[in-house]
Amino acid sequence: MGPFEYLLLFTAVILGLAVSDLALSLHRLLGAGARVTWDWLAPMAAVVAFLKIVTQWWIWYGAKALADGMTWEMFLALLVSTLLLFLLAAAALPDETDAPIDLAAHYAAISRRYWILFIGQWLLGNAFSIWAQMAIGHAHFDPRTLISPGVVIAAVAAVLVFVRNRWLHGLSLVGLIALYLVQSFGRSLVG
């Protein structure tokens, strides 16, 4: 096992746990049946978290050339970014299903935390990417990279931390789902 496989395996375990948490939470919700008052925002937040996890793993697979030069500090930043992604996924759906569950109330209770985790993971993930590309890939920082769709996404997420408008949250979640699907559509791991 080379450095890439070794590093990817450790982060993949954390991402796998995040997907497992989403699946178990959904399983519990479906099993709770009539005790659940369904709403669209929490499940959409779970879909965004799921697509963000899958997209992250896909991106890491394509960064195989960077693994050989990764330092301990870089790996620590990568792990913290991965843990933030796990926490994002864990927040999306409720864990406890013994009492009645109102998914609208759940989303209202976790939305600020969800979007703070989203922004934190985005910032750390992008900082790590720029750092690794500059230190290992000998890339040069181009300030124009700060004007990208990702910056717009982070800005919208920052607004969602403070604005409680359900329709704005819904449109943002739909937009993120579409973005994650479109940006990866048709791509393969090799080539």
Burial 161-177 (b: 16+ CB within 10 A, else e): eeeeeeeebeebbeebe
Is residue 131 included in any domain, yes or no? Answer: yes
Determine the average pLDDT of the residues in 161-178. 96
Closest CA to 122 of 49, 22, 44, 45: 49
65-114 pLDDT, tens per residue?
667 778 888 889 989 999 999 999 999 999 987 889 999 999 999 999 99
Q: How far apart are CA 68 and CA 89, in angstroms?
A: 29
Rounded (10°) CA dihedral 169, 175, 176, 180 = 170
Is residue 191 included in any domain, yes or no? Answer: no
Is residue 22 included in any domain, yes or no? Answer: yes
Helix 3-32 vs helix 41-62: crossing angle, to nearest 10:
170
Q: How far apart are CA 179 and CA 118, in angstroms?
A: 15
Is residue 189 included in any domain, yes or no? Answer: no
pTM for this model (two decimals): 0.90
Domain that holds residue 77: 3-184
Q: Could you please report the per-residue DSSP string of 98-162?
A: SS-EEHHHHHHHHHHHHHHHHHHHHHHHHHHHHHHHHHTS-----GGGGSSHHHHHHHHHHHHHH
Is residue 139 included in any domain, yes or no? Answer: yes
Domain tally for the chain? 1
- Pick 125 or 105 by higher pLDDT: 105
Is residue 83 included in any domain, yes or no? Answer: yes
Is residue 123 included in any domain, yes or no? Answer: yes
